[in-house]
Amino acid sequence: ILGVRDIHADHAASHIGKAQGIITCLRATPYHCTRRKVFLPMDICMLHGVSQEDFIRGKQEKNVRDVIYDIASQAHIHLEHVR
């Protein structure tokens, strides 16, 4: 956007964008759940034995928190790549 032509800057911007997208999805989860929609990766949910209904009902059990932690960890990994 500023005319920067550098592959390293492009790579860093890509990882920042991915991290921001993941975090935006996590932050919007309570809002979407009130509308009975869950946009979290089902493979991670299934890994922890969590269903979409668990999110929609607002459960805060350890396995639900583990799903959120795993997804947030992916955003953190992208930020580490940027550093």
Range of the domain at 62: 7-81
**Residue 17 domain-assigned?**
yes
Residue 1 placed within a domain: no
**Residue 30, token pair as written in the block:** 């309570």
Q: Is residue 16 domain-resident?
A: yes
pTM: 0.84
pLDDT for residue 35: 96
Number of domains in the chain: 1
pLDDT in tens, 8-65: 888 888 999 999 999 999 999 999 999 999 999 999 999 999 999 999 999 999 999 9
Q: Who contacts 39 (Cβ-Cβ below 8 Å, separation ≥6)?
A: 25, 28, 29, 32
User: Quick check: 4 pLDDT over 80?
Assistant: no
